[in-house]
Amino acid sequence: MDSASAANSWKIFDEVKPDLKPKEVMEEANRCLFCFDAPCMKACPTHIDVPSFIKKITTGNMKGSARVIMDANPVAATCARVCPTEELCEGACVLNDASLPIMIGDLQRHTMNWAMKNNPQLFEAGEPNGKKVAVIGGGPAGLSAARELARFGYQVTIFEKKEKAGGLDTFGIVPFRLPQHVALWEVEQVKKLGVTIQTNTEVGVDVSIQSILDDYDAVLLAIGMADVPPIGIPGEDLDGVLDAIQLIERVKDGHVTERFVGKKAVVIGAGNTAIDAATCLKRLGADRVQILYRRSEEEMTAYPFEFSFAKEEGIEFRWQTQPKAIEGDSDGKVASVVCAPMMLGEKDASGRRRPIEIDNAPFTIDTDVVVKAIGQTRYLPLIEAFGLAHAHGVVTVDPLTYQTSNPKVFAAGDVIFGSGKGEAMVVAAAEQGKKTAQAIHEQQLSKI
């Protein structure tokens, strides 16, 4: 990459979707019917009062609009960019039947952009109640819970392993969909309420689990998920085999790498992370990027808008293709992937048709890079060190209170999600954080 291209590298990570122009904002806001019992509000996992925030846009009350949105969703600037709105609020809009749904996500983004620019104090911390809560993990679930607990008057400390809080929002979603500064602004809003965030602090390493359990009135485990697991095929240790989560994290944190220019790449998996990794590689200069998936388009877990975006970016999809081995050259670098074609059988426990290998029909795809994006492992040692009941690393909780098998410990976010689309929903984690804060508050009130 020459210097001009290197300078350009920041442009390729600018947000793909432009903001609405002021005139478009007013036209769109004035199209809203401000429905009584609005279905869009019900369809939002955090139940943002959509007609109220849109009405406030029309009257120029931008602070009021931001308050309505963030009262319901402490990570609303992120959600305005990453929510699958066509499946949520916009999918429920009554105008779907008549014309086009209101662009709720874009209007929310407009309000949140105003808030990020003007930085008003939207909320205050509650009267101190003398109780302390430890939140382990500073991602969307942890931040949401911490914000609510601070408003209830708790002294909250977030223990964050990385050097910045924000979790998935800060490190795990490609910058051209969610710039890092958006997530960090949301972190600052939580800090403004007096929440302490101890970064570079790993619970179980830098702080003992026992001291957390002893020193705090309640604990929230919101640690998310870990790296991509091994695929379990020969050649995974070759130079050029990468973990999708680590790749996106490096790109998101500004470590733009030039190593993919002109290269061929394959991404294994077809979830949202796989799409993010594939589009990253393309924007980093890869010549050809193919996504390999052992099932068909129908079974892929990526959101439809992610799939459309990938196709627009020139990503190719090879359905019913199972990698069997990664082959290297004499220097130990990736050279190709040996694959088997698959057919689909009966539905399995996940409700999706089971892929079955077609015998004796292997084929080879030449590639320089292989990116693994087949899900994420769990922080099992930490979950077990807390002594919590779990199923394969998914912490077991009461579905209403998010209380774990230890009554003092609650859990929210990806650490309690099973497999499926829900894992990528920042908005679901935000709602769980709110509900967990409420449950902790009720538990503490019951002790008075």
Nearest distance in Å: CB 435, ligand SF4: 23
The residue written with tokens 């689909």 in the block is: 344
Measured from the CB atom, is 61 or 438 closer to ligand SF4? Answer: 61
Residue 164 to residue 189: CA distance in whole angstroms: 14
Measured from the CB atom, is 34 or 363 closer to ligand SF4? Answer: 34
CB neighbour class for 2 (10 Å; exposed up to 12, middle 13-18, buried from 19): exposed
Measured from the CB atom, is 32 or 165 closer to ligand SF4? Answer: 32
Nearest distance in Å: CB 28, ligand SF4: 10
Residue 359 to residue 362: CA distance in whole angstroms: 8
Phi, psi for 270 (deg, rounded to 5): -140, 40
Measured from the CB atom, is 95 or 233 closer to ligand SF4? Answer: 95
Measured from the CB atom, is 104 or 183 closer to ligand SF4? Answer: 104
Nearest distance in Å: CB 29, ligand SF4: 9
Measured from the CB atom, is 39 or 204 closer to ligand SF4? Answer: 39
Residue 316: CB atoms within 10 Å: 13
The answer to whether 357 touches 340, Cβ cutoff 8 Å, is yes
Q: At CB < 8 A and 24+ separation, what contacts does 324-329 make?
A: 324/233, 324/362, 325/233, 325/234, 325/235, 326/233, 326/234, 326/235, 326/236, 326/238, 326/241, 326/370, 327/235, 327/364, 328/235, 328/238, 328/239
291 bridge partner residues: 267, 317
Nearest distance in Å: CB 100, ligand SF4: 10
Beta-strand (E) ranges in 241-381? 241-243, 264-268, 288-292, 316-318, 321-328, 334-347, 353-357, 363-366, 369-372
Nearest distance in Å: CB 431, ligand SF4: 18
Binding-site ranges for ligand SF4 (CB under 6 A)? 32-35, 38-40, 50-51, 93-95, 102, 104
Measured from the CB atom, is 72 or 168 closer to ligand SF4? Answer: 72
Element (DSSP H or E) covering residue 272: helix 272-283
Nearest distance in Å: CB 257, ligand SF4: 42
Residues 6+ apart with CB under 8 A from 192: 121
Residue 231 to residue 373: CA distance in whole angstroms: 9
Measured from the CB atom, is 67 or 441 closer to ligand SF4? Answer: 67
Nearest distance in Å: CB 25, ligand SF4: 14
- Mark residue 335 as left, alpha or beta (left: phi above 0; alpha: psi -120 to 50; beta: remaining): alpha
Nearest distance in Å: CB 34, ligand SF4: 5
Nearest distance in Å: CB 106, ligand SF4: 12
Measured from the CB atom, is 96 or 438 closer to ligand SF4? Answer: 96
